A and B are shown apart, each in its own frame.
Chain A
Amino acid sequence: MRMKRKEKKINGSKLFDGFNYCLMAVILLCTLYPFYYTLIASVSNGSDVIRGNVIFWPIGVTLEAYKRIPSIANFFLSYGNTIFYTVFGAGISVIVMSMGAYALSRTRLKGRRVFGFLISLTLWFKAGIIPIYLNMDSLNLLDTRIGILLGFACNAFYIIIMRTYFEGIPVELEEVARLDGLGNFGIFTKIMVPLSKPMFATIALYCAVNRWNGYFWSMILLKDIKKAPLQVLLKKIIVENQMMSALDSSAGFDFTRETLVYAIIVVSIIPIILVYPFVQKYFVKGLTVGAVKG
């Protein structure tokens, strides 16, 4: 009797394992398939894509859609803008936030509780869309690159992560460096930064990804399409495309237009997908550092 029950349990356990592996495989598939489909649709014949023939592999392989990308007005300009916002945005954020977070991590700093409170409060109480817009307007930063760069440079969550990290570095190291004649800034750049490389990598990556993907504030604050990042142009193209293909159905149908959207998506996510495998461990590290709680 006892043997029998034990056997049953093992079977139940095996059954669950099998089910679990299948479920995880389904999750893998559900996550990857939209990307895979976008890729195969972008290199397929437009009419086959519309008829739904393209499901597992590309049909009527053509690079027609990709050839059309350079003819999109401002495409390369906005790609350049995105790179600009990503590099400088992440750079400014990391420099400003790390210096501030380091200062806040020193217990001798007067008023650090007040500063810390002011920073944490921004997590919970946000001014809202319109006040932020009006504030940019009053600072004459509407439609400027510098407004986008500075206005969204600080993030309370990242500051707290950085501060917690600096607090974890033994204070003895600071004392030794001070005996060597280093000032606070020297200690920060020569001791603290090299010791916190993984944390810096993580925060820089997060800021870069946020910049690369950000669209809402660029859409609202930048009126001039020549300053807009790729995401704003992408949204514009897709909206226009939908209107055009609605008009199309009466006249001759432009099949490549349907696959053009997929080609643009592929081009815009390629940098993220390419660097992802190399940097993903830092993403995870960052979140678990934050989970330790500040």
Chain B
Amino acid sequence: MEPGKQTCRTPQKRKWWKDFDLYLMLCPMMLLILVFSYKPLTSLVIAFKDYSPYKGIWESEWVGLEYFYEFFHSAFAWRTIRNTVTISLSMLIFGFPAPIILALLLNEIKNAKFRKLVQTVSYIPHFISLVVVCSMVTSFLSPTSGIVNAVLKSLGFEPVYFLSKPELFVPIYVIVNIWQTIGYNSIVYIAALTSIPDDLYEAAKVDGANRLQQALHITLPGLLPTIMVMLLVQLGSILDVGYEMIILLYNPSIYETADVINTYVYRSGILEGRYDYATAIGLLNSVISFILVILANKVSKKITETSLW
């Protein structure tokens, strides 16, 4: 066996120029990543410049931290930061545990066919486009023609303008999000569940543990590493709320609770053409997110020895 292993190692130690085709294969991918993921980073400097499309990124004049100053002295700063954090925390509290609970409950379903059916069906919404999902939401909730209000009216209630009520936006966002992602996000946990050895359950049964005790003392600890990794990912993207969905659902009458940092970046940058100002706010968002990922990772490493890298 040993000599065999030796010959297998040899190709890994060849002269590097003999593998030039290997480097060629790597080229297109690295090129695309450099051009489309790293090159955009250079335009971040306009966050500190008075960007003029005619002068270009490098010739435009420096303005220092003016845009950050402007942002923090505008009414938008407090509103967008507050909404971003509110929506993220709501998702963390309600959206994060939902797929874990689904996975645990599915695990208790003994009928394999029914379990498979629920699983398969619950993934579907993940593969439906946001535009379609949001169109369904706006159509269903429409005050004039939506089914929800039609049912409310037939029950004798006044119609509710769901998407014009600031206080209803966060619940609607969270519910739609859970609806769309619960099944798909549960896959990771279901996969982790299957890797828990059966003899642990056998042993527990011999010791007289009931199903709840088995779930609490075997299943949940078995899931913990997966839960921690997913939690880390979520914590890192806490400022990265689903602006694509919000853009499709919100309207000026609910900006008060629906406008987040990234939707504001989109409006002021793409719609109003203030590229420099919007870049500055986007940069602020990315930097804080990046710091949050690193912090969350550090904390997790200390406490549970689980980390993303």
Contacts and interface: CB of A to CB of B under 8 A. Distances in A.
Q: Do A and B come from one complex?
A: yes
Interface of A: 9, 12-13, 16-17, 20-21, 23-24, 27-28, 30-32, 34-35, 37-38, 41, 49-55, 96-97, 99-104, 106-110, 115, 118-120, 122, 124-135, 138-139, 150-154, 159, 171-172, 174-175, 178, 183-185, 188, 209, 212-216, 220, 231, 234-235, 238, 242, 245, 249, 258, 261-262, 265, 268-269, 272-273, 276-277, 280, 283-284, 287-288, 291, 293
A240 B238 CA distance: 33
9 contacts: A13-B211, A31-B122, A100-B28, A129-B269, A130-B270, A154-B36, A159-B29, A245-B144, A276-B127
A100 B144 contact: no
A24 B275 CA distance: 48
Interface stretch (B13-21, B79-87, B166-174): B13-21
Given A130-B279, A209-B127, A249 B105 contact: no
Given A30-B179, A34-B136, A216-B244, A52 B154 contact: yes
Contact of B30 (A115, A235, A272, A293): A115
Interface string B44-60: 10100000000001000
A120 B122 CA distance: 30
Interface string B116-142: 011011111101111110011011100
A265 B286 CA distance: 34
B108 A17 contact: yes
For A16, A118, A128, A172, the residue with the greatest tally of chain B CB atoms inside 10 Å of its CB is A128
Contacts of A188: 25
B212 to A, nearest CB: 8
B29 A154 contact: yes
A96 B28 contact: yes
Interface stretch (B68-76, B186-194, B196-204): B186-194
B260 interface: no
B40 A234 contact: no
B283 A185 contact: no
Contact of B25 (A41, A102, A129): A102
Interface string B239-250: 000001001100
Given A215-B131, A291-B191, A16 B211 contact: yes
A293 B226 CA distance: 11
Contacts of A51: 150
Interface of B: 4, 7-8, 10-14, 16, 19, 21-26, 28-30, 32-33, 35-44, 46, 57, 102, 105-106, 108-110, 114, 117-118, 120-125, 127-132, 135-136, 138-140, 144-145, 147, 149-151, 153-154, 179, 182-184, 187-188, 191-192, 210-211, 226, 229, 236, 244, 247-248, 262, 265-266, 269-270, 275, 278-279, 282-283, 285-286, 290, 293, 309
Contacts of B8: 171-172, 175
A269 to B, nearest CB: 6
B33 A119 contact: yes
A262 B12 CA distance: 57
Contact of B109 (A21, A130, A273): A21
Nearest to A205: B127
Contact of A174 (B11, B36, B270): B11
Contacts of A106: 12, 19, 22
A132 B46 CA distance: 13
Contact of B309 (A120, A135, A150, A272): A120
The 7 closest A-B pairs by CB, nearest first: A52-B150, A100-B29, A213-B129, A128-B282, A127-B40, A103-B26, A131-B40
Contacts of A125: 286, 290
A100 B150 contact: no
Contact of B19 (A53, A126, A171, A184): A184
Given A31-B121, A213-B127, A184 B136 contact: no
Given A131-B43, A131-B44, A269 B128 contact: yes
